[in-house]
Chain A
Protein backbone atom coordinates (compact mmCIF):
# COMPACT_ATOMS: atom_id res chain seq x y z
CA UNK A 1 0.00 0.00 0.00
CA UNK A 2 2.70 2.41 1.00
CA UNK A 3 4.52 2.06 -2.30
CA UNK A 4 1.38 2.59 -4.25
CA UNK A 5 0.64 5.84 -2.44
CA UNK A 6 4.12 7.25 -2.77
CA UNK A 7 4.05 6.86 -6.53
CA UNK A 8 1.20 9.26 -6.73
CA UNK A 9 3.14 12.13 -5.28
CA UNK A 10 5.15 12.58 -8.44
CA UNK A 11 4.49 16.04 -9.80
CA UNK A 12 2.36 16.77 -12.80
CA UNK A 13 4.63 17.50 -15.81
CA UNK A 14 5.45 13.91 -16.75
CA UNK A 15 4.04 12.09 -19.70
CA UNK A 16 2.33 14.93 -21.49
CA UNK A 17 2.78 14.89 -25.24
CA UNK A 18 2.35 18.59 -25.78
CA UNK A 19 3.88 21.58 -24.03
CA UNK A 20 2.60 24.98 -24.95
CA UNK A 21 4.18 28.41 -24.67
CA UNK A 22 1.37 30.90 -24.47
CA UNK A 23 1.56 34.39 -23.04
CA UNK A 24 0.00 34.22 -19.57
CA UNK A 25 -3.03 36.42 -18.91
CA UNK A 26 -2.35 39.91 -17.57
CA UNK A 27 -4.39 39.23 -14.42
CA UNK A 28 -1.72 36.77 -13.21
CA UNK A 29 0.78 39.62 -12.91
CA UNK A 30 -1.02 40.73 -9.74
CA UNK A 31 0.66 37.87 -7.93
CA UNK A 32 4.23 38.56 -8.99
CA UNK A 33 6.71 41.38 -8.51
CA UNK A 34 6.64 44.29 -8.98
CA UNK A 35 2.91 44.30 -8.17
CA UNK A 36 3.24 41.84 -5.31
CA UNK A 37 6.27 40.63 -3.46
CA UNK A 38 4.52 37.62 -1.98
CA UNK A 39 4.32 35.28 -4.98
CA UNK A 40 0.74 34.31 -4.04
CA UNK A 41 0.16 32.06 -7.03
CA UNK A 42 3.13 29.79 -6.54
CA UNK A 43 2.50 29.91 -2.80
CA UNK A 44 -0.90 28.30 -3.38
CA UNK A 45 0.65 25.74 -5.68
CA UNK A 46 3.04 24.57 -3.01
CA UNK A 47 0.26 24.60 -0.49
CA UNK A 48 -1.79 22.23 -2.65
CA UNK A 49 1.15 19.95 -3.33
CA UNK A 50 1.93 19.85 0.38
CA UNK A 51 -1.72 19.09 1.19
CA UNK A 52 -1.71 16.11 -1.12
CA UNK A 53 1.43 14.83 0.58
CA UNK A 54 -0.26 15.46 3.95
CA UNK A 55 -3.22 13.34 2.98
CA UNK A 56 -1.13 10.33 1.99
CA UNK A 57 1.40 10.52 4.78
CA UNK A 58 -1.43 10.41 7.28
CA UNK A 59 -3.41 7.69 5.53
CA UNK A 60 -0.24 5.60 5.50
CA UNK A 61 -0.05 6.00 9.23
CA UNK A 62 -3.72 5.42 9.77
CA UNK A 63 -4.55 8.93 10.99
CA UNK A 64 -7.70 9.62 9.02
CA UNK A 65 -8.70 12.67 11.04
CA UNK A 66 -5.55 14.48 10.09
CA UNK A 67 -5.81 13.27 6.52
CA UNK A 68 -9.21 14.91 6.44
CA UNK A 69 -7.80 18.22 7.62
CA UNK A 70 -5.29 18.15 4.77
CA UNK A 71 -7.99 17.21 2.26
CA UNK A 72 -10.08 20.17 3.37
CA UNK A 73 -7.11 22.42 3.10
CA UNK A 74 -6.46 21.16 -0.41
CA UNK A 75 -10.05 21.74 -1.42
CA UNK A 76 -10.13 25.25 0.03
CA UNK A 77 -6.86 26.32 -1.55
CA UNK A 78 -7.96 24.87 -4.87
CA UNK A 79 -11.16 26.85 -4.70
CA UNK A 80 -9.39 30.03 -3.64
CA UNK A 81 -6.89 29.63 -6.47
CA UNK A 82 -9.66 29.15 -9.02
CA UNK A 83 -10.80 32.71 -8.37
CA UNK A 84 -7.43 34.34 -8.78
CA UNK A 85 -7.12 34.39 -12.56
CA UNK A 86 -10.51 34.68 -14.32
CA UNK A 87 -9.06 33.54 -17.67
CA UNK A 88 -8.02 30.26 -16.07
CA UNK A 89 -11.25 29.46 -14.28
CA UNK A 90 -12.04 26.73 -16.78
CA UNK A 91 -9.06 24.67 -15.66
CA UNK A 92 -10.51 24.10 -12.21
CA UNK A 93 -13.10 21.46 -11.38
CA UNK A 94 -14.15 22.34 -7.85
CA UNK A 95 -16.34 19.24 -7.57
CA UNK A 96 -13.24 17.03 -7.99
CA UNK A 97 -11.53 18.68 -5.03
CA UNK A 98 -14.61 18.25 -2.84
CA UNK A 99 -14.70 14.65 -3.93
CA UNK A 100 -11.26 14.10 -2.41
CA UNK A 101 -12.62 15.29 0.95
CA UNK A 102 -15.61 12.96 0.65
CA UNK A 103 -13.46 9.93 -0.14
CA UNK A 104 -11.20 10.67 2.83
CA UNK A 105 -14.29 10.96 5.05
CA UNK A 106 -15.33 7.52 3.81
CA UNK A 107 -11.87 6.19 4.71
CA UNK A 108 -11.77 4.54 1.33
CA UNK A 109 -8.11 4.24 0.29
CA UNK A 110 -8.79 3.24 -3.30
CA UNK A 111 -11.40 5.97 -3.58
CA UNK A 112 -8.95 8.59 -2.31
CA UNK A 113 -6.33 7.52 -4.79
CA UNK A 114 -8.82 7.68 -7.63
CA UNK A 115 -10.12 11.08 -6.57
CA UNK A 116 -6.65 12.60 -6.25
CA UNK A 117 -5.66 11.22 -9.63
CA UNK A 118 -8.68 12.80 -11.21
CA UNK A 119 -7.97 16.10 -9.54
CA UNK A 120 -4.33 15.77 -10.58
CA UNK A 121 -5.43 15.67 -14.20
CA UNK A 122 -6.76 19.22 -13.82
CA UNK A 123 -3.44 20.34 -12.39
CA UNK A 124 -1.60 18.70 -15.21
CA UNK A 125 -3.77 20.16 -17.92
CA UNK A 126 -3.08 23.66 -16.77
CA UNK A 127 0.61 22.99 -16.20
CA UNK A 128 1.17 21.63 -19.66
CA UNK A 129 -0.27 24.80 -21.14
CA UNK A 130 0.97 27.45 -18.76
CA UNK A 131 3.73 26.41 -16.39
CA UNK A 132 6.66 26.91 -18.73
CA UNK A 133 5.68 30.33 -19.96
CA UNK A 134 4.94 31.55 -16.44
CA UNK A 135 8.30 30.33 -15.21
CA UNK A 136 10.12 31.97 -18.08
CA UNK A 137 8.23 35.22 -17.77
CA UNK A 138 8.27 35.70 -14.02
CA UNK A 139 11.38 33.94 -12.81
CA UNK A 140 13.87 35.28 -15.34
CA UNK A 141 14.95 38.87 -15.69
CA UNK A 142 14.90 40.77 -18.93
CA UNK A 143 17.87 42.09 -20.90
CA UNK A 144 15.83 44.90 -22.39
CA UNK A 145 16.82 47.34 -19.66
CA UNK A 146 20.52 46.68 -19.65
CA UNK A 147 22.86 49.13 -21.27
CA UNK A 148 26.50 48.50 -22.04
CA UNK A 149 29.25 51.01 -22.65
CA UNK A 150 31.21 50.04 -25.72
CA UNK A 151 34.92 50.14 -24.82
CA UNK A 152 35.92 50.62 -28.44
CA UNK A 153 33.95 53.70 -29.43
CA UNK A 154 32.71 54.87 -26.00
CA UNK A 155 29.06 54.73 -27.02
CA UNK A 156 26.32 53.38 -24.80
CA UNK A 157 24.22 50.69 -26.44
CA UNK A 158 21.51 48.24 -25.48
CA UNK A 159 22.47 44.68 -24.60
CA UNK A 160 20.93 43.33 -27.75
CA UNK A 161 22.86 45.76 -29.94
CA UNK A 162 26.06 44.89 -28.12
CA UNK A 163 25.54 41.23 -28.97
CA UNK A 164 25.21 42.15 -32.61
CA UNK A 165 28.47 44.07 -32.43
CA UNK A 166 30.24 41.10 -30.84
CA UNK A 167 28.90 38.75 -33.47
CA UNK A 168 29.96 41.12 -36.24
CA UNK A 169 33.48 41.40 -34.83
CA UNK A 170 33.71 37.66 -34.65
CA UNK A 171 32.61 37.11 -38.23
CA UNK A 172 34.83 39.92 -39.51
CA UNK A 173 37.86 38.33 -37.88
CA UNK A 174 37.12 35.11 -39.69
CA UNK A 175 36.83 36.94 -43.00
CA UNK A 176 40.20 38.65 -42.45
CA UNK A 177 41.74 35.30 -41.58
CA UNK A 178 40.57 33.77 -44.83
CA UNK A 179 41.72 36.81 -46.79
CA UNK A 180 45.02 36.97 -44.89
CA UNK A 181 44.45 40.63 -44.12
CA UNK A 182 46.66 40.38 -41.05
CA UNK A 183 46.95 44.04 -40.22
CA UNK A 184 43.20 44.50 -40.19
CA UNK A 185 42.88 41.19 -38.38
CA UNK A 186 45.14 42.41 -35.63
CA UNK A 187 43.14 45.58 -35.07
CA UNK A 188 39.80 43.80 -35.17
CA UNK A 189 40.98 41.14 -32.73
CA UNK A 190 41.99 43.79 -30.24
CA UNK A 191 38.57 45.38 -30.55
CA UNK A 192 36.81 42.06 -30.21
CA UNK A 193 38.72 41.10 -27.08
CA UNK A 194 38.12 44.53 -25.56
CA UNK A 195 34.40 44.26 -26.30
CA UNK A 196 34.10 40.71 -25.05
CA UNK A 197 35.81 41.60 -21.78
CA UNK A 198 33.60 44.69 -21.64
CA UNK A 199 30.56 42.43 -21.37
CA UNK A 200 31.55 41.86 -17.76
CA UNK A 201 29.95 45.20 -17.02
CA UNK A 202 26.55 43.58 -17.32
CA UNK A 203 26.82 40.62 -14.96
CA UNK A 204 26.34 42.60 -11.74
CA UNK A 205 23.03 43.89 -13.03
CA UNK A 206 21.62 40.49 -12.10
CA UNK A 207 24.25 38.65 -10.12
CA UNK A 208 25.44 39.64 -6.67
CA UNK A 209 28.95 38.23 -6.59
CA UNK A 210 32.01 37.47 -8.67
CA UNK A 211 31.91 33.82 -7.64
CA UNK A 212 28.49 33.39 -9.25
CA UNK A 213 29.72 34.49 -12.67
CA UNK A 214 33.26 33.10 -12.51
CA UNK A 215 32.53 29.95 -14.58
CA UNK A 216 31.90 32.12 -17.65
CA UNK A 217 34.05 35.20 -17.19
CA UNK A 218 36.64 34.12 -14.64
CA UNK A 219 40.31 33.24 -15.02
CA UNK A 220 39.94 30.72 -17.83
CA UNK A 221 37.96 33.23 -19.87
CA UNK A 222 40.65 35.88 -19.43
CA UNK A 223 43.30 33.37 -20.33
CA UNK A 224 41.54 32.30 -23.51
CA UNK A 225 41.16 35.88 -24.72
CA UNK A 226 44.68 36.91 -23.77
CA UNK A 227 46.00 33.89 -25.60
CA UNK A 228 44.13 34.96 -28.73
CA UNK A 229 45.69 38.41 -28.46
CA UNK A 230 49.18 37.03 -27.98
CA UNK A 231 48.91 34.73 -30.99
CA UNK A 232 47.85 37.61 -33.21
CA UNK A 233 50.56 39.84 -31.83
CA UNK A 234 53.22 37.17 -32.42
CA UNK A 235 51.80 36.56 -35.90
CA UNK A 236 51.10 32.90 -35.21
CA UNK A 237 48.09 33.03 -37.48
CA UNK A 238 47.82 29.27 -37.95
CA UNK A 239 46.85 28.90 -34.35
CA UNK A 240 44.32 31.71 -34.42
CA UNK A 241 41.27 29.73 -35.64
CA UNK A 242 41.54 27.32 -32.72
CA UNK A 243 41.99 30.13 -30.23
CA UNK A 244 39.00 31.87 -31.74
CA UNK A 245 36.86 28.76 -31.29
CA UNK A 246 37.90 28.49 -27.67
CA UNK A 247 37.00 32.11 -27.11
CA UNK A 248 33.64 31.62 -28.75
CA UNK A 249 32.90 28.72 -26.45
CA UNK A 250 32.39 31.38 -23.79
CA UNK A 251 29.65 32.87 -25.94
CA UNK A 252 27.82 29.57 -26.13
CA UNK A 253 28.26 28.69 -22.48
CA UNK A 254 26.61 31.93 -21.57
CA UNK A 255 23.90 31.54 -24.22
CA UNK A 256 23.03 28.08 -22.96
CA UNK A 257 22.11 29.49 -19.58
CA UNK A 258 20.66 32.87 -20.48
CA UNK A 259 19.39 33.03 -24.01
CA UNK A 260 16.35 30.76 -24.02
CA UNK A 261 14.47 32.56 -21.27
CA UNK A 262 15.52 35.86 -22.85
CA UNK A 263 14.04 34.92 -26.21
CA UNK A 264 10.74 33.85 -24.65
CA UNK A 265 10.49 36.95 -22.50
CA UNK A 266 11.21 39.19 -25.40
CA UNK A 267 8.56 37.48 -27.50
CA UNK A 268 5.96 38.01 -24.77
CA UNK A 269 6.89 41.58 -24.12
CA UNK A 270 6.14 42.72 -27.65
Chain B
Protein backbone atom coordinates (compact mmCIF):
# COMPACT_ATOMS: atom_id res chain seq x y z
CA UNK B 1 0.00 0.00 0.00
CA UNK B 2 2.74 2.40 0.98
CA UNK B 3 4.62 1.48 -2.11
CA UNK B 4 1.61 2.26 -4.27
CA UNK B 5 1.28 5.71 -2.82
CA UNK B 6 4.92 6.31 -3.41
CA UNK B 7 4.53 5.04 -6.92
CA UNK B 8 1.67 7.31 -7.87
CA UNK B 9 3.44 10.30 -6.41
CA UNK B 10 6.33 9.44 -8.61
CA UNK B 11 4.31 9.18 -11.75
CA UNK B 12 2.30 12.34 -11.20
CA UNK B 13 5.05 14.82 -10.88
CA UNK B 14 7.81 13.61 -13.04
CA UNK B 15 9.25 16.97 -13.87
CA UNK B 16 9.78 18.14 -10.32
CA UNK B 17 10.95 14.78 -9.18
CA UNK B 18 13.43 14.70 -11.98
CA UNK B 19 15.30 17.40 -10.16
CA UNK B 20 14.75 16.01 -6.67
CA UNK B 21 16.10 12.60 -7.54
CA UNK B 22 19.19 13.70 -9.42
CA UNK B 23 22.28 12.14 -7.95
CA UNK B 24 24.77 14.84 -8.78
CA UNK B 25 27.92 12.77 -8.86
CA UNK B 26 26.47 10.80 -11.78
CA UNK B 27 26.80 13.97 -13.82
CA UNK B 28 30.48 14.29 -13.04
CA UNK B 29 31.76 11.28 -14.97
CA UNK B 30 32.12 8.79 -12.12
CA UNK B 31 33.84 5.46 -12.63
CA UNK B 32 31.84 2.54 -14.01
CA UNK B 33 31.56 0.96 -10.58
CA UNK B 34 29.21 3.77 -9.58
CA UNK B 35 26.85 3.03 -12.49
CA UNK B 36 26.78 -0.60 -11.35
CA UNK B 37 24.72 0.40 -8.34
CA UNK B 38 21.74 0.42 -10.67
CA UNK B 39 22.94 -1.08 -13.96
CA UNK B 40 24.33 -4.24 -12.41
CA UNK B 41 24.01 -6.56 -15.38
CA UNK B 42 25.43 -4.14 -17.89
CA UNK B 43 28.34 -3.47 -15.59
CA UNK B 44 29.10 -7.16 -15.27
CA UNK B 45 29.12 -7.49 -19.04
CA UNK B 46 31.39 -4.50 -19.42
CA UNK B 47 33.88 -6.01 -16.95
CA UNK B 48 34.36 -8.80 -19.47
CA UNK B 49 34.94 -6.42 -22.37
CA UNK B 50 38.23 -5.20 -23.75
CA UNK B 51 36.95 -1.64 -23.32
CA UNK B 52 37.27 -2.14 -19.59
CA UNK B 53 40.98 -2.93 -20.01
CA UNK B 54 41.75 -0.34 -22.65
CA UNK B 55 43.97 1.76 -20.40
CA UNK B 56 45.50 -0.90 -18.20
CA UNK B 57 46.27 -3.59 -20.73
CA UNK B 58 49.91 -4.66 -20.57
CA UNK B 59 50.49 -4.16 -24.27
CA UNK B 60 49.06 -0.68 -24.13
CA UNK B 61 51.36 0.28 -21.27
CA UNK B 62 54.29 -1.23 -23.12
CA UNK B 63 53.63 0.40 -26.48
CA UNK B 64 52.90 3.82 -24.99
CA UNK B 65 56.07 3.55 -22.93
CA UNK B 66 54.26 3.69 -19.66
CA UNK B 67 51.80 6.34 -20.89
CA UNK B 68 54.43 8.75 -22.12
CA UNK B 69 53.13 8.85 -25.71
CA UNK B 70 50.41 11.34 -24.90
CA UNK B 71 48.80 11.29 -28.33
CA UNK B 72 47.93 7.64 -27.78
CA UNK B 73 45.85 8.03 -24.67
CA UNK B 74 42.58 9.70 -25.66
CA UNK B 75 40.72 6.79 -27.29
CA UNK B 76 41.79 4.50 -24.50
CA UNK B 77 40.32 6.73 -21.75
CA UNK B 78 37.84 9.05 -23.48
CA UNK B 79 36.30 12.13 -21.93
CA UNK B 80 33.22 11.88 -24.12
CA UNK B 81 32.27 10.26 -27.40
CA UNK B 82 30.66 12.44 -30.01
CA UNK B 83 29.80 10.17 -32.92
CA UNK B 84 32.37 10.53 -35.68
CA UNK B 85 34.78 12.74 -33.74
CA UNK B 86 37.94 11.56 -32.09
CA UNK B 87 37.53 11.93 -28.31
CA UNK B 88 39.68 14.00 -25.98
CA UNK B 89 41.49 12.48 -23.02
CA UNK B 90 39.51 12.23 -19.79
CA UNK B 91 40.98 13.95 -16.76
CA UNK B 92 39.83 11.51 -14.08
CA UNK B 93 39.72 7.76 -13.44
CA UNK B 94 41.92 6.99 -16.43
CA UNK B 95 42.37 3.37 -15.35
CA UNK B 96 38.67 2.83 -15.97
CA UNK B 97 39.50 2.78 -19.70
CA UNK B 98 36.62 3.13 -22.15
CA UNK B 99 33.96 3.36 -19.45
CA UNK B 100 30.21 4.01 -19.14
CA UNK B 101 30.38 7.75 -18.64
CA UNK B 102 33.02 8.12 -21.35
CA UNK B 103 30.64 6.54 -23.86
CA UNK B 104 27.31 7.84 -22.56
CA UNK B 105 27.77 11.21 -20.87
CA UNK B 106 28.18 14.44 -22.82
CA UNK B 107 28.39 18.06 -21.76
CA UNK B 108 29.83 20.02 -18.88
CA UNK B 109 29.89 18.36 -15.49
CA UNK B 110 26.45 18.70 -13.86
CA UNK B 111 24.96 20.46 -16.88
CA UNK B 112 25.13 17.60 -19.38
CA UNK B 113 23.01 14.54 -20.11
CA UNK B 114 23.30 10.81 -20.26
CA UNK B 115 22.83 9.86 -23.90
CA UNK B 116 21.59 6.49 -25.04
CA UNK B 117 19.53 4.66 -27.64
CA UNK B 118 16.16 5.12 -25.88
CA UNK B 119 13.82 7.76 -24.60
CA UNK B 120 13.80 7.00 -20.91
CA UNK B 121 12.68 8.48 -17.65
CA UNK B 122 15.79 8.28 -15.50
CA UNK B 123 15.52 10.53 -12.43
CA UNK B 124 19.03 9.88 -11.07
CA UNK B 125 20.56 11.29 -14.24
CA UNK B 126 18.63 13.19 -16.94
CA UNK B 127 18.92 11.32 -20.25
CA UNK B 128 18.52 12.12 -23.91
CA UNK B 129 18.07 9.91 -26.87
CA UNK B 130 20.69 9.84 -29.62
CA UNK B 131 19.95 7.66 -32.62
CA UNK B 132 23.63 7.40 -33.44
CA UNK B 133 23.98 4.87 -30.65
CA UNK B 134 22.68 2.19 -32.95
CA UNK B 135 24.83 3.17 -35.93
CA UNK B 136 28.42 2.31 -36.85
CA UNK B 137 29.24 6.00 -36.91
CA UNK B 138 29.22 5.86 -33.14
CA UNK B 139 32.11 3.38 -33.04
CA UNK B 140 34.00 5.31 -35.73
CA UNK B 141 35.19 7.88 -33.21
CA UNK B 142 37.83 5.40 -32.15
CA UNK B 143 37.65 2.45 -34.54
CA UNK B 144 38.45 4.80 -37.40
CA UNK B 145 40.17 2.43 -39.74
CA UNK B 146 37.74 -0.44 -39.23
CA UNK B 147 34.89 1.96 -39.83
CA UNK B 148 36.42 3.05 -43.12
CA UNK B 149 36.68 -0.56 -44.23
CA UNK B 150 33.11 -1.21 -43.12
CA UNK B 151 31.87 1.76 -45.15
CA UNK B 152 33.60 0.48 -48.24
CA UNK B 153 31.88 -2.87 -47.73
CA UNK B 154 28.51 -1.13 -48.20
CA UNK B 155 26.46 -3.37 -45.94
CA UNK B 156 23.58 -2.35 -43.72
CA UNK B 157 24.57 -4.38 -40.65
CA UNK B 158 26.05 -2.11 -38.00
CA UNK B 159 29.03 -2.88 -35.77
CA UNK B 160 26.61 -3.14 -32.85
CA UNK B 161 24.50 -5.80 -34.52
CA UNK B 162 27.49 -8.15 -34.42
CA UNK B 163 29.66 -6.84 -31.57
CA UNK B 164 26.84 -5.89 -29.15
CA UNK B 165 24.68 -8.94 -29.67
CA UNK B 166 21.00 -8.70 -28.83
CA UNK B 167 20.18 -10.20 -25.43
CA UNK B 168 16.39 -10.05 -25.52
CA UNK B 169 14.21 -7.80 -23.37
CA UNK B 170 15.36 -7.10 -19.85
CA UNK B 171 15.48 -4.36 -17.23
CA UNK B 172 18.16 -1.76 -17.70
CA UNK B 173 18.51 -1.44 -13.95
CA UNK B 174 18.54 -3.81 -11.03
CA UNK B 175 17.94 -1.48 -8.09
CA UNK B 176 14.97 -1.16 -5.84
CA UNK B 177 12.71 0.79 -6.07
CA UNK B 178 13.66 2.22 -9.47
CA UNK B 179 13.37 -1.14 -11.18
CA UNK B 180 9.64 -1.16 -10.40
CA UNK B 181 8.95 1.91 -12.51
CA UNK B 182 10.53 0.82 -15.72
CA UNK B 183 9.54 -1.61 -18.40
CA UNK B 184 11.98 -4.11 -19.77
CA UNK B 185 13.77 -2.86 -22.85
CA UNK B 186 15.87 -4.41 -25.57
CA UNK B 187 19.30 -5.19 -24.24
CA UNK B 188 22.60 -5.39 -26.08
CA UNK B 189 25.66 -7.07 -24.70
CA UNK B 190 28.25 -4.73 -23.28
CA UNK B 191 30.90 -7.42 -23.28
CA UNK B 192 31.70 -6.29 -26.84
CA UNK B 193 32.82 -9.77 -27.96
CA UNK B 194 35.69 -9.91 -30.45
CA UNK B 195 33.90 -12.83 -32.18
CA UNK B 196 35.60 -15.30 -34.49
CA UNK B 197 35.09 -15.96 -38.18
CA UNK B 198 32.95 -18.98 -38.96
CA UNK B 199 33.56 -21.56 -41.63
CA UNK B 200 30.94 -19.97 -43.88
CA UNK B 201 32.51 -16.52 -43.57
CA UNK B 202 35.48 -17.66 -45.61
CA UNK B 203 35.23 -19.28 -48.99
CA UNK B 204 38.29 -21.26 -49.92
CA UNK B 205 38.70 -22.98 -53.27
CA UNK B 206 41.43 -24.35 -55.45
CA UNK B 207 41.38 -23.10 -59.03
CA UNK B 208 44.06 -24.87 -60.97
CA UNK B 209 47.31 -23.72 -59.44
CA UNK B 210 45.73 -20.98 -57.45
CA UNK B 211 44.28 -21.09 -54.01
CA UNK B 212 41.46 -18.58 -53.74
CA UNK B 213 40.28 -17.19 -50.41
CA UNK B 214 37.37 -14.79 -50.09
CA UNK B 215 36.03 -13.16 -46.96
CA UNK B 216 32.32 -13.33 -47.73
CA UNK B 217 30.92 -12.84 -44.24
CA UNK B 218 32.70 -10.11 -42.31
CA UNK B 219 32.24 -6.56 -43.58
CA UNK B 220 35.69 -5.32 -42.62
CA UNK B 221 39.23 -6.52 -43.19
CA UNK B 222 40.43 -9.67 -41.58
CA UNK B 223 42.29 -8.89 -39.47
CA UNK B 224 41.32 -5.29 -38.73
CA UNK B 225 42.81 -2.78 -36.31
CA UNK B 226 43.61 0.82 -35.66
CA UNK B 227 46.56 0.39 -33.36
CA UNK B 228 46.40 -3.15 -32.14
CA UNK B 229 48.11 -5.99 -33.98
CA UNK B 230 45.72 -8.88 -34.55
CA UNK B 231 47.00 -11.55 -36.89
CA UNK B 232 45.86 -14.30 -39.16
CA UNK B 233 48.13 -17.18 -40.13
CA UNK B 234 47.64 -19.20 -43.26
CA UNK B 235 49.36 -22.53 -43.60
CA UNK B 236 49.06 -24.47 -46.84
CA UNK B 237 50.46 -27.98 -46.88
CA UNK B 238 50.80 -30.26 -49.88
CA UNK B 239 53.01 -33.11 -50.92
CA UNK B 240 56.56 -31.90 -50.40
CA UNK B 241 55.81 -28.27 -49.66
CA UNK B 242 54.48 -25.97 -47.05
CA UNK B 243 53.58 -22.33 -47.58
CA UNK B 244 53.08 -19.87 -44.76
CA UNK B 245 51.53 -16.45 -45.02
CA UNK B 246 51.10 -13.88 -42.31
CA UNK B 247 48.15 -11.51 -42.33
CA UNK B 248 48.33 -8.24 -40.40
CA UNK B 249 46.31 -5.08 -40.96
CA UNK B 250 49.27 -3.55 -42.76
CA UNK B 251 50.97 -6.43 -44.48
CA UNK B 252 48.12 -8.40 -45.99
CA UNK B 253 44.41 -8.70 -45.27
CA UNK B 254 41.28 -10.46 -46.42
CA UNK B 255 39.14 -7.60 -47.63
CA UNK B 256 35.41 -8.09 -47.69
CA UNK B 257 34.40 -9.90 -50.90
CA UNK B 258 37.80 -9.31 -52.50
CA UNK B 259 39.47 -12.59 -53.48
CA UNK B 260 43.01 -13.25 -52.44
CA UNK B 261 45.03 -15.62 -54.60
CA UNK B 262 48.02 -17.71 -53.68
CA UNK B 263 49.99 -19.69 -56.20
CA UNK B 264 50.63 -23.25 -55.16
CA UNK B 265 52.60 -26.09 -56.77
CA UNK B 266 50.29 -28.48 -58.55
CA UNK B 267 49.17 -31.19 -56.23
CA UNK B 268 46.31 -33.56 -55.69
CA UNK B 269 45.54 -32.66 -52.17
CA UNK B 270 46.02 -29.51 -50.12
CA UNK B 271 45.52 -28.92 -46.46
CA UNK B 272 44.64 -25.33 -45.67
CA UNK B 273 44.65 -24.10 -42.09
CA UNK B 274 43.85 -20.65 -40.78
CA UNK B 275 44.69 -19.49 -37.29
CA UNK B 276 44.21 -16.14 -35.68
CA UNK B 277 45.64 -14.25 -32.76
CA UNK B 278 43.87 -11.28 -31.26
CA UNK B 279 45.93 -8.24 -30.34
CA UNK B 280 45.79 -8.74 -26.64
CA UNK B 281 46.07 -12.50 -26.58
CA UNK B 282 49.05 -14.80 -26.67
CA UNK B 283 46.95 -17.64 -28.00
CA UNK B 284 46.77 -18.77 -31.60
CA UNK B 285 43.30 -20.13 -32.19
CA UNK B 286 42.28 -22.36 -35.04
CA UNK B 287 39.73 -20.65 -37.28
CA UNK B 288 39.34 -23.42 -39.80
CA UNK B 289 41.11 -26.30 -41.39
CA UNK B 290 40.15 -27.82 -44.72
CA UNK B 291 41.39 -30.38 -47.15
CA UNK B 292 40.99 -29.38 -50.78
CA UNK B 293 41.33 -31.63 -53.78
CA UNK B 294 42.37 -30.58 -57.24
CA UNK B 295 38.85 -30.43 -58.61
CA UNK B 296 37.02 -27.67 -56.78
CA UNK B 297 33.75 -29.58 -56.81
CA UNK B 298 35.02 -32.26 -54.47
CA UNK B 299 35.94 -30.17 -51.46
CA UNK B 300 35.88 -32.14 -48.26
CA UNK B 301 35.78 -30.74 -44.78
CA UNK B 302 37.76 -31.65 -41.76
CA UNK B 303 37.60 -29.55 -38.63
Interface positions of A (Cβ within 8 A of B): 32-34, 37, 141-142, 145-146, 149-154, 194, 197-198, 200-201, 203-206, 208
8 nearest A-B pairs in the assembled complex, by CB-CB distance: A33-B68, A151-B246, A200-B250, A34-B66, A34-B67, A34-B68, A145-B62, A201-B248
B231 within 8 A of A: yes
Q: Which residues of A contact B69 (CB under 8 A)?
A: 33, 141, 206
> B244 touching A203 by the CB < 8 A rule?
no
B227 within 8 A of A: yes
Interface string of B214-252 (1 = CB under 8 A from A): 000000000000110101010000000000111010110
Q: Which residues of B contact A194 (CB under 8 A)?
A: 246
Q: Which residues of A contact B229 (CB under 8 A)?
A: 149, 201
> B244 touching A154 by the CB < 8 A rule?
yes
Contacts known (A201-B229, A204-B226); A151 close to B63, Cβ less than 8 A: no
Q: Which residues of B contact A152 (CB under 8 A)?
A: 244
Q: Which residues of A contact B245 (CB under 8 A)?
A: 151
Q: Which residues of A contact B244 (CB under 8 A)?
A: 151-154
> A32 touching B250 by the CB < 8 A rule?
no
Q: What are 16 of the A-B contact pairs (CB < 8 Å)?
A: A33-B68, A33-B69, A34-B65, A34-B67, A37-B70, A141-B69, A145-B65, A149-B246, A149-B248, A150-B246, A151-B248, A151-B251, A194-B246, A200-B250, A201-B250, A205-B227
B71 within 8 A of A: yes
Q: Which residues of B contact A33 (CB under 8 A)?
A: 67-70
Please report the C-alpha to C-alpha distance between residue A208 and residue B69 in the assembled complex, in whole angstroms.
11
B interface residue count range (under 10 / 10 to 19 / 20 to 34 / 35 or more): 20 to 34
Known: A150-B246, A154-B246, A201-B229. 16 other contacts (CB 8 A): A33-B70, A34-B66, A141-B69, A145-B62, A145-B63, A149-B231, A149-B246, A151-B251, A153-B244, A200-B250, A200-B251, A201-B250, A203-B250, A205-B63, A206-B69, A208-B71
Closest to A150 in B: B246
Shortest Cβ distance from A197 into chain B, in angstroms? 6
Shortest Cβ distance from A21 into chain B, in angstroms? 21
Shortest Cβ distance from B70 into chain A, in angstroms? 6
Closest to B69 in A: A141
Closest to B231 in A: A149
> B70 touching A198 by the CB < 8 A rule?
no
Interface string of B256-267 (1 = CB under 8 A from A): 000000000000
Shortest Cβ distance from A209 into chain B, in angstroms? 9
Contacts known (A154-B233, A203-B250); A142 close to B63, Cβ less than 8 A: no
Please report the C-alpha to C-alpha distance between residue A259 and residue B229 in the assembled complex, in whole angstroms.
23
Q: Which residues of B contact A145 (CB under 8 A)?
A: 62-63, 65
Q: Which residues of A contact B62 (CB under 8 A)?
A: 145
Q: Which residues of A contact B71 (CB under 8 A)?
A: 208
Please report the C-alpha to C-alpha distance between residue A34 and residue B245 in the assembled complex, in whole angstroms.
38
Please report the C-alpha to C-alpha distance between residue A34 and residue B244 in the assembled complex, in whole angstroms.
40
Q: Which residues of B contact A206 (CB under 8 A)?
A: 69
Q: Which residues of B contact A204 (CB under 8 A)?
A: 226-227, 250
Closest to B89 in A: A37
Please report the C-alpha to C-alpha distance between residue A74 and residue B201 in the assembled complex, in whole angstroms.
67
Please report the C-alpha to C-alpha distance between residue A104 and residue B229 in the assembled complex, in whole angstroms.
59
Please report the C-alpha to C-alpha distance between residue A205 and residue B227 in the assembled complex, in whole angstroms.
7
Closest to A144 in B: B65
Contacts known (A204-B226, A204-B227, A208-B71); A198 close to B63, Cβ less than 8 A: no
